[in-house]
Amino acid sequence: MMFSVIIPTYNRADLLPATLESVLRDTEQEIEVIVSDDGSTDDTLNALRPYRDRVVIVEGQNTGPGPCRNRAIEIAHGDYVAFLDSDDLWFPWTLDTYRRAIEENGYPSWLAGSARIFSNSTQLTNVEALPLDGARYASFLAYAVSVRSRWCLGVSGVVIARDALTRSGLFPNRRGNAEDTDLWLRLGVAEGFVRIHDPPCFAERKHGCNVSDDLDRVLEGVHDLIEAETLGRYPGGSKYQRGRLEVLTLPVRNACVACLKRGRIRQAWALYFRCRHWHFAMRRFRFLLLFPVLAAWAWTRSVISGTDQSGTT
């Protein structure tokens, strides 16, 4: 079984070498590593120079994480494609854990590992290679229904069979965030999904430049998800609608709260009203009742501080 490890990067010259070292230290595994550079303007290409004999480098224009990953997927040869962001790390046991989980669960369409959050490497010294603990579900949407709001997956922990990934249509070719959630939904009914609880499979770095902190891109991505579901673009029909709504409403709620925290109250209300019927159908009454209270509090703070409520901070 061969793995293609895809690492998209943009202006991460300082972090990328550590990411690559965390993958390349296991020389006995059958892997190909593909770094897809999204038009970096820093020293990223020079930072990659020592690795040119061990990794494939794909260069492209700055088009966002989805298209950047797609460029690498198109040349991948592995039976399974593993994703790792260029600021995150693998553990020494990561690839072996994926391999064992795949073999022990009958070669599922895809699987997802758990993360350890860190901001400096000393926080990872006590992470251990625990025995494999995971669960197989009929599909990702079956998993989402069973765990409800706890379904969230880190893209750096996801491994997908290349055939299933190709059939899904890959990541959306747009710049907005939530490109990973869009792909998860299009893979929603693919046969076999495994959630690995232990050992942790990747370390997620928290720092001041995480892409998910860009609220405009978050909102663009969330609205794209809503439109796709409204137009019936995701598989599963009415039979799997509950699973899709479990997945869709989590980023909606997170985006609503993020808007309130940034003082973008009108945008928060617009998103709330656009999806309130989904939350009602999912019996998310706590959110439906609590959001107006939070919005009122945010508005009061904005009046006191004189913050402009035109949709920007």
| pLDDT one digit per residue (tens) for the chain, 313 residues | 999 999 999 999 999 999 999 999 876 678 999 999 999 999 999 999 999 999 999 999 999 999 999 999 999 999 999 999 999 999 999 999 999 999 999 999 999 999 999 988 888 888 988 999 999 999 999 999 999 989 999 999 999 999 999 999 999 998 889 999 999 999 999 999 999 999 999 999 987 655 556 899 999 999 999 999 999 999 999 999 999 999 999 999 999 999 999 999 999 999 999 999 999 999 999 999 999 999 999 999 988 887 655 444 4
Task: Report yes or no: 112 and 158 within 8 Å, Cβ to Cβ.
Answer: yes
Q: Where are the domains of the chain?
A: 3-211, 214-305
User: What fold is seen in the domain 3-211?
Assistant: Spore Coat Polysaccharide Biosynthesis Protein SpsA; Chain A (3.90.550)
- Cα 302 from Cα 295, distance rounded (Å): 10
The verdict on pTM exceeding 0.85 is: yes
Q: What is each CA distance from 256 to 10, 84, 241, 259, 302, in whole angstroms?
A: 28, 28, 22, 5, 16
Q: Strand (E) positions, 38-172?
A: 56-59, 80-83, 89-90, 110-112, 115-118, 133-137, 158-161
